[in-house]
Amino acid sequence: MEYIKYRFYQKANKCAKEFQRLKSEHADVVLGEVKLGQVLTGMKGIPLLVTDTSKLDPEEGIRFKGYTIPELQQKLPKINPDGEPIPEGLLYLMLIGEIPSQEDALNLSRDLATRAHVPQHTFDVIDAMPKTSKPMTQFSAAILSMATESTFQKAYRAGVNKKYFWDATYEDVMNLIARLPRVAAYIYRRQFHNGNHIEPNPRLDWAGNLAHMMGFDSEDIRRLFRLYMIIHADHEGGNVSAHTAHLVGSALSNPYYCYSAAMNGLAGPLHGLANQDVIFWIFEMIEELDTDTPTDEQVAEYCKNTLESGRVIPGYGHAVLRKTDPRFTAQQEFADKYIKDDKMVNLANQLYRVVPPILGSVGKIKNPWPNVDAYSGSLLYHYGIKEYTFYTVMFGVSRALGVLASLVNDRIYGMPIERPTSHPLSWFKEQAEGKGSDC
């Protein structure tokens, strides 16, 4: 068994035994009450999922296996000592639960490079779609098309014992993670660069190779891609894309099915599409104000008009967080360090000054602070990736790291099919008021 895979099995198998023990010995333990408001507002805060890769705290933000983003920036292996960590190190951490050595991270990087071959029919599927197709439509379809290569699907049909489901799932997961940069870059070059494709460079790291295949070879942009891929990699298990992959996977669908479904969720404007909505909204503001260097007063007035029209200010607020998103802060610090006097970056910083006080004055808004999407597009735009309809695809490449690592855990834990109970609205009315309704 390959070294990293064996390390994962050693660690995860102990956790799988603990999972089964808890299920057997403590099934009756009450975790908390469920309130009607939680059910009717998207199951907010109900502890329903086991996700070992990361945890989101409302006040502290995201931790990956217990580590904050600043800690990861300090501890994970890097290509250059003054640069950003490579995402392969984070994948290793989420799989095994330990900060990898430089050698471990580079071994994983080389392993992904050997797995990165994309079948020709996947390119054919992309090329068969109209160029007017949204990049996320092409991305989801391309992932689905690779299900023909599923190791898990073949093993299941061959009758493999369920205790080995994790093994075939691991192979699919690593193959899919390895292929996603190639697929994403192919879509980018097809749609925005007349199909002038760039072959992968297996000597580059996973994120650096994505930048290369998209046509960006400076060390500056590779540094940004590494940061981008790390901070977008996971956000515990309850967000739409992660939960979708888990739910579909609970039916023993192969990882390609699971992640294609997850990307259909990520493509929604209340989830991953928000990163391009931010840039679109900023351009609308620039056009209406007729300046790309507005005053704080002009920005405030535009924000108030946006809210009064019944729209939201994209990039602000979060379903869980109640503070400035640490992922926003990491990007802001990156800009402070490497970017001087860029208009889009300046606007992102200006919105951070202006928007929270306005949202804070609106009583119904619990979180007036920016999330990761409020900054990411400005950085990408600065480095020449101005096709903001592609931003969510980049998000999708990154999110695979955490979501698919979790899927392997699901299989090694032997998690059952997810099947919560549902009731008609009249049942909830009866619970709340003692009488039903005609609904």
Radius of gyration, CA atoms only, the chain: 22
Cβ-contact 122, 242 below 8 angstroms: no
Q: CA–CA separation, 391 vs 398, rounded Å? A: 11
Over residues 273-280, mean pLDDT:
92
CB 131 within 8 A of CB 137: no
For residue 108 the two structure tokens come to 């994983």
pLDDT-derived band at 359 (thresholds 50, 70, 90) equals very high
59-83 per-position pLDDT tens digit: 888 999 999 999 999 999 999 988 9
At 57 the pLDDT is 87
Average pLDDT, the chain: 94
Question: Sign of dihedral through CA atoms 258, 261, 262, 263?
Answer: positive
For the chain, how long is the longest CA-to-CA vector? 67
The ranges assigned to domains in the chain are 273-383
What tens digit of pLDDT does each residue of 286-324 get? 999 999 999 999 999 999 999 999 999 999 988 777 889
pLDDT given for residue 77 in this prediction = 98
For residue 363, what pLDDT band results from cuts at 50, 70 and 90? low
What residues are annotated to the active site? Answer: 271, 318, 373
| pTM of the predicted protein model | 0.95
Phi first, then psi: give them for residue 114, nearest 5 degrees. Answer: -75, -15
Burial of 31 (0-12, 13-18, 19+ CB in 10 A): exposed
Q: Given this model, what pLDDT does residue 364 score? A: 64
- Which class is 273-383 in CATH? mainly alpha
- From the list 315, 335, 314, 325, the residue with the least C-alpha distance to 382 is 335
pLDDT in the model for residue 3 = 85
Q: Tens of pLDDT along 238-273?
A: 999 999 999 999 999 999 999 999 999 999 998 888
* Average pLDDT value for residue range 359-387: 90
Residue with tokens 């490079």: 113
- Long-range contacts of residues 141-144, Cβ cutoff 8 Å, at least 24 apart: 141/260, 142/183, 142/186, 142/187, 143/176, 143/180, 143/183, 143/256, 143/259, 143/260, 143/263, 144/256, 144/257, 144/260
Within 8 A by CB and 6+ apart from 329, the residues are: 69
225-250: b (≥16 Cβ within 10 Å) or e? bbbbbbbbbbbbbbbbbbbbbbbbbb
Contact 225, 210 (CB under 8 A): yes
- Record the tokens describing residue 107, joined without a space: 């071994």
Mean of the pLDDT values across residues 87-115? 97
Half-sphere exposure of 222 (CA within 13 A, CB side): 17
Concatenated DSSP letters for 276-323?
Answer: HHHHHHHHHHHHHHT-SS--HHHHHHHHHHHHHTT---TTB--SS--S
Whether residue 137 has pLDDT greater than 90:
yes
For the segment 208-221, the average pLDDT, to the nearest whole number, is: 97
- Do 327 and 231 touch, CB atoms closer than 8 A? yes
